[in-house]
Amino acid sequence: MSDDTFTLTSEAAKKLSDLGASKGGEARAKKLSAERRSEIARAAVEARWFKAGKEPVSKATHKGSFKEEFGTDVDCYVLNDEARTAVISQRGMGRALGYSPQSAGRLPRLVGSKNLAPYIGPDLREKLQNPLIFQWLPPGPAGQPQIDRIHGFDGTLLIDLCKAIIAAEADGKLTANQDRLVKQAHVIVGASAKAGMKGLIYALAGYDQTREEVIAAFKFYVREEARDYEREFPAQLYEEWYRLYGIPKPERNRPWKFKHLTVEHVYRPLAKSNGKILELTQEQRENSKARWKKLHQFLSEIGVKALRTHLGELLGIARISDDKDEYERFFKKLFGEQFEMFDRGTKEKA
């Protein structure tokens, strides 16, 4: 047989072989389950990914979001590495700290900022400058797989970053426009510590928390920390009352006069209906197991937003007033005539 004949015969055999393989492959594919076909398709996509030299560190086996439970668009993942690393996406890290969706990419600039950089140690800096790169394989159109290449951070780094922010705040290094960042840092650290301790005790005691219990506990601690950190009554208002009414500052606690001012200038104007909010808060406190709490701490379900707005207006007129007479004139002009400075029980006794 000549070389030319051998070559032609080989090419014909190859074509016949390819045709047979193709038909056999189609037949085998029809016998496979949808799940097995999906696995094979995913493997093919991964093979193309690796061939392109894009292999990430690992893969995510689960994905979630803070959106539904906490109202913040923060994506989170669990990786298939040995530590089962809990990851927050790079964009999600910025959103967790209070940045808007448009500004969520500012995290690298925050880490490198002059006022915060000295408080971020070399280990934390290296990790924040080198995000984890991993695969997430969501189903593509018509059930076909695709690969998302995600940048993210070990979720515990959020706590470390918050601690750095709090340390910078304690030294007075942060600016006024970073107040929201500071508040978020305090809330995240406090809530995470409490939720973590509760989870540890459950684990040691052999109690298995449900998914719903874990989320509910963290939401509770977030609310608790937010209210503890954000004191509704600004300290500046008390300073103005000291100045306007010529009241000397006691070494401990606040003067009795402030109780009357709080009732008459805060709660009663908010009520607009014979002290309804004041009565509601008093009633709520009386029916609560924690009666020692301040009245304003029971306003969460009655009108915190209204309280904040009112306190802002009150502080504004206090600052522009030269004395108590001018302050009270502004007060009456803005809020109208108010009740006398004693409650109805005292009035009836009088």
Q: How confident is the model at residue 344 (pLDDT cuts 50, 70, 90)?
A: very low
Selected residue with higher pLDDT from 244 and 18: 244
Instruction: Pick the closest to residue 282 from 269, 295, 293 (CA basis).
Output: 295
User: pLDDT digit string (tens) for 61-72?
Assistant: 999 999 888 888
User: pLDDT digit string (tens) for 266-317?
Assistant: 877 776 544 455 555 566 556 555 444 454 444 454 556 677 778 888 989 9
What is the average pLDDT score of the chain?
75
Say what the pLDDT of residue 342 is: 34
Selected residue with higher pLDDT from 149 and 291: 149
Say what the pLDDT of residue 274 is: 44
Lowest pLDDT segment from 54-58, 167-171, 237-241, 341-345: 341-345
Task: Give the ranges where 53-155 is alpha helix by DSSP (H).
Answer: 67-70, 90-96, 107-111, 122-129
User: Residue ranges per domain, the chain?
Assistant: 175-230, 235-349
Q: How confident is the model at residue 8 (pLDDT cuts 50, 70, 90)?
A: very low
Q: How confident is the model at residue 77 (pLDDT cuts 50, 70, 90)?
A: very high
Instruction: Pick the closest to residue 96 from 50, 175, 3, 165 (CA basis).
Output: 165
User: pLDDT digit string (tens) for 179-214?
Assistant: 888 889 989 999 999 999 999 899 899 999 999 999
Q: How confident is the model at residue 155 (pLDDT cuts 50, 70, 90)?
A: very high
Instruction: Pick the closest to residue 29 from 37, 21, 18 (CA basis).
Output: 37
- Percent of the chain at pLDDT exceeding 90: 26
Contact of 128 with 155, CB cutoff 8 Å = no
What's this model's pTM, rounded to 2 decimal places? 0.55
d(CA 309, CA 169): 26
The dihedrals phi and psi of 225, each to the nearest 5 degrees, come to: -65, -40
95, pLDDT greater than 60: yes
The dihedrals phi and psi of 167, each to the nearest 5 degrees, come to: -65, -40
157, pLDDT greater than 60: yes
Say what the pLDDT of residue 51 is: 44
Say what the pLDDT of residue 112 is: 85
Selected residue with higher pLDDT from 335 and 319: 319
Selected residue with higher pLDDT from 57 and 118: 118
